[in-house]
Copies of this chain bind each other. A is one copy, B any other.
Amino acid sequence: MPLKVSLAALPGMPAVQPGDDLARLIVEALDRAALRLEDGDALVVTSKIVSKAEGRQADLRTVQPGDEALRLASLTGKDPRMVELALRESVEVSRIAPNVMVTRHRLGFVSANAGIDQSNVDGSDDHALLLPLDPDASAQRLRERLLELTGAHVGIVISDSHGRPFRLGNVGVAVGVAGMPALVDLRGQPDMFGRILRISVQGYADMVASAAGLLSGEGAEGLPVVLVRGLEYPRIDGRAADLYRPPEEDLYR
């Protein structure tokens, strides 16, 4: 039989509130879908619901943009309060253009708007949602709590959707990982003719996030959790931080 992988988006996840036990909400949604976690499963959870559970909402009415935020807001045409929040979440501004603000996030990745989201919060324009403080730690806690509730050792990817230089369209990326590898190193494996592959490292957790993104969409669907079954990943406990190219190795900084 062929090697198979299946993905299932969990229906009926409720709107997540600050303080919610995300693992319990996920187990309840699995139950309703007659699914049971198994060792080696992976769960892909959008950063949005992790942030909500962790209370990472910001009230824009309380944000005072500083001089740099006002300057960048005028260059980009963006809301100065959103720019201020993005600067607070970032360590370096990478590119600025009309409608574009790309920064290196304090967590280490490069993205637009520091991953801050103004959609899907509560229906008003006054709230924004920041990424979890430490999404690798959030993934680890979720993994441990799911083990407690179900007895299953699963991999966790906390996903977000990023644009890319060179290519159009957003794709899924991992911003938090636990219980599975972030990078899978194929270096040194022989290819079909026995030659040793020289460089071949897969951005594995990003590929898992992209696969799940095919189901979860980004709009009204509200499918923030995808169960992935059948992956044959090495039992390595990776972190999303493994995926971030150090600035000194980045030719496009």
Please tell me if the beta carbons of B193 and A120 are within 8 angstroms of each other in the complex.
Answer: yes
Instruction: Say yes or no: is A53 at the interface (Cβ < 8 Å to chain B).
Output: no
Contact stretch, chosen from A55-63, A147-155, A167-175: A167-175
* Mask of A63-87 contacts with B, CB within 8 angstroms, 1/0: 0000000000000000000000000
Distance in angstroms from A6 CB to nearest chain B CB is 5
Contact pick for A5, options B7, B33, B251, CB 8 Å: B7
Please tell me if the beta carbons of B206 and A211 are within 8 angstroms of each other in the complex.
Answer: no
Please tell me if the beta carbons of A219 and B193 are within 8 angstroms of each other in the complex.
Answer: no
Residues of B contacting A123 with CB < 8 Å?
193-195
Within 8 A of B (CB), among A200-253: 200-204, 206-208, 210-211, 213-215, 217-220, 222-223, 227, 231, 242-245, 250-252
Contact pick for A168, options B203, B211, B223, CB 8 Å: B203
Please tell me if the beta carbons of A8 and B15 are within 8 angstroms of each other in the complex.
Answer: no
Given contacts A5-B7, A202-B213, is CB(A207)–CB(B172) below 8 Å?
yes
Copies in the complex: 2
In the complex, A9 Cα to B210 Cα: how many Å? 18
Instruction: Say yes or no: is A21 at the interface (Cβ < 8 Å to chain B).
Output: no
In the complex, A3 Cα to B191 Cα: how many Å? 36
Please tell me if the beta carbons of B6 and A204 are within 8 angstroms of each other in the complex.
Answer: no
Please tell me if the beta carbons of A168 and B183 are within 8 angstroms of each other in the complex.
Answer: yes
Instruction: Say yes or no: is A18 at the interface (Cβ < 8 Å to chain B).
Output: no
In the complex, A33 Cα to B97 Cα: how many Å? 51
**26 A–B contacts from the bound complex (CB under 8 Å):** A1-B33, A3-B11, A4-B8, A5-B6, A5-B211, A15-B192, A120-B193, A123-B193, A123-B195, A165-B166, A167-B173, A167-B243, A168-B183, A169-B184, A171-B207, A172-B207, A186-B218, A186-B219, A189-B220, A190-B220, A191-B219, A192-B219, A200-B218, A207-B210, A207-B214, A252-B252
Which A residues fall within an 8 A CB radius of B? 1-11, 15, 33, 35, 95, 97, 100, 102, 109-110, 119-123, 161, 164-173, 182-184, 186, 189-195, 197-198, 200-204, 206-208, 210-211, 213-215, 217-220, 222-223, 227, 231, 242-245, 250-252
